[in-house]
Chains A and B, each alone.
Chain A
Amino acid sequence: MKPVPFNYLCAYSLEEALQHLSRSEDAKVIAGGQSLMPMLNFRIVQPSLLIDIGKLVELDFIKEEGDQIVIGSLTRHSTVANSELVKKNLPVIHEALKHVAHLAIRNRGTIGGSLSHADPAAEYPMLSLLLDATMYCESVDQKRIIPADEFFAGSLSTVLAEDEILTQIRFSKTKANTGWAFEEFAQRDGDFALAAVGVLVDKDSKGHISNLQIGMMGVGETALRLNSIEAELNGQAYSEELLETAMSNLSSLLLPNTDLHASAEYRRHLAGQLFKKTFKNAWNMASIEK
């Protein structure tokens, strides 16, 4: 339960961190370390060099830019959870963060770390898909912008190159009249979710479902955005029957695992029930006259 020996460099600027990264064969970047440290302790990862970006204050910020909220990749979970800017403009993130890990882990863990680690049962990857976030990534040679739906390559895997660092994440503000809901089920507060669902929905001028966005996690190789169900429901009038049909169509799209915590069948059932609950709650919120 001790890491293998490695060398260590602490970067005091992003540029310095990128330079170190470009010069090393198998370096790992450490920020909050709340996913990487267990992997080091278990020797699942054995880097020859660890580059610490934990002191890069330039990546620790939450700001408003027009209709977007921009979050620096080194921003800790506890900072996001306590941000009034996030609570007002990205209420579904504020709600979901109540489920992210435990107090001590929230104090250290970062949004960029969670996204780069890409655990299919972690909240941020799902939230980034749900909210159509864009990831700003940098290497010594280039900067690129990757939409969330192209960022995740599989379980614990992203399209980030070896020499790239995720620097900021941009989210469009959720409009005040949009209905939203987030529900998660875990065996213990703060544990990884067995399943979780997030929904955003508008009610259009005809009283129909519009701009529906559905995100799910814990039920596949990566977090999911359910585009086909969204297309099926958009433009329709809300009814219980419609919801039941969507639930049965949904279950065939999910590919959960069986493990010691829950069977695949149970997870699929759970995801369906959570979808029903979140959709109803989001729709009720969208239906309130403002």
Chain B
Amino acid sequence: MSEIEKVSLWVIVNGVVHDDLIDPRLLLSDYLRINLGLTGTHVGCEHGVCGACTILVDGASARSCLMLAVQANGLEINTVESLGSPDNLNPLQRAFNEHHGLQCGFCTPGMLMTSTEMLQKYPLKTDEEIRELLSGNLCRCTGYQGIVDAVRDCARKRDAGVISIRDISPRREKSL
């Protein structure tokens, strides 16, 4: 086999620019966790079934195990670290806490990132719609009810103007 050439990667992750030289085969999930130390993105199945590694790519949810890091070249990535912090949960994270939307927490980063896109872009008027949009994320603890309750609660607060899109959207470490 011919020598593998490294490829350059320029990417904005949670508002921070990274300029790297990487192996083409490096998965985006591994780049985030290993190269950048952002271990909030969890790796479950590594073949696109469980949804634990879901992140936002240019604002749209994607499975980071089904992308090569190099495919993110020139794009903007947001991970769960760009939501609230442990001391200062964002309204979506608080709702997961209040409604028992997690137990072991393994699926939670993916659930939060999927829910973030849902709250930014979808009406979420019915539980059926919420469940359909969350169907790509597996949870083995909660039976989903607490998760659906949390997302519904946030959607109603959004509709009532109690929380804004800004409150639940990813933060940037620094404004660019």
Contact = CB atoms under 8 A, between A and B. Distances in A.
Interface of A: 1-8, 10, 30, 33-34, 37-38, 40-42, 48, 50, 52, 54, 78, 101-105, 107-108, 188-190
B114 interface: yes
Contacts of A8: 5, 7, 24, 68, 70
A107 B66 CA distance: 12
A5 B25 contact: yes
Interface in B87-137: 114, 117-118, 131-133, 135-137
B135 A188 contact: yes
Interface in B52-101: 54, 57, 60-63, 65-68, 70-71, 73
A3 B51 CA distance: 19
Contact of B25 (A3, A42, A107): A3
B23 interface: yes
Given A33-B66, A103-B133, A38 B47 contact: yes
Q: Which bucket holds chain B's interface residue count? A: 35 or more
Contacts of B149: none
B77 to A, nearest CB: 13
Interface of B: 1-2, 4-5, 7, 23-25, 27, 30, 46-48, 51, 54, 57, 60-63, 65-68, 70-71, 73, 114, 117-118, 131-133, 135-137
B68 A41 contact: no
Contacts of A48: 1-2
A38 B27 contact: no
Given A5-B4, A7-B24, A104 B47 contact: no
B32 to A, nearest CB: 15
Contacts of A54: 71
Nearest to A5: B4
A188 B136 CA distance: 9
B132 A104 contact: no
A59 to B, nearest CB: 16
Nearest to B60: A107
B60 A78 contact: yes
Contact of A104 (B4, B23, B62): B62
A281 B48 CA distance: 34
Contacts of A108: 57, 62-63, 66-67
Q: Is the interface of B mostly helix, strand, loop or mixed?
A: mixed
6 contacts: A2-B30, A3-B27, A7-B5, A10-B70, A104-B51, A107-B62
A103 B67 contact: no
A4 B27 CA distance: 11
B46 A1 contact: yes
B46 A190 contact: no
B51 A102 contact: yes
Given A33-B67, A107-B60, 5 more contacts: A7-B24, A30-B68, A103-B114, A103-B136, A108-B67
A11 B110 CA distance: 31
Contacts of B48: 34, 37-38, 105
Contact of A101 (B25, B54, B71, B136): B136
B1 A10 contact: no
A108 B71 CA distance: 11
A273 B60 CA distance: 37
Contacts of A38: 47-48, 66
A104 to B, nearest CB: 4
Contacts of A189: 131-132, 135
Contact of B23 (A5, A30, A103, A188): A5
A104 B68 contact: no
A37 B57 CA distance: 16
A98 B73 CA distance: 30
Contact of B135 (A7, A34, A41, A102): A102
Contact of A103 (B2, B73, B117): B117
Nearest to A108: B62
Contacts of A4: 25
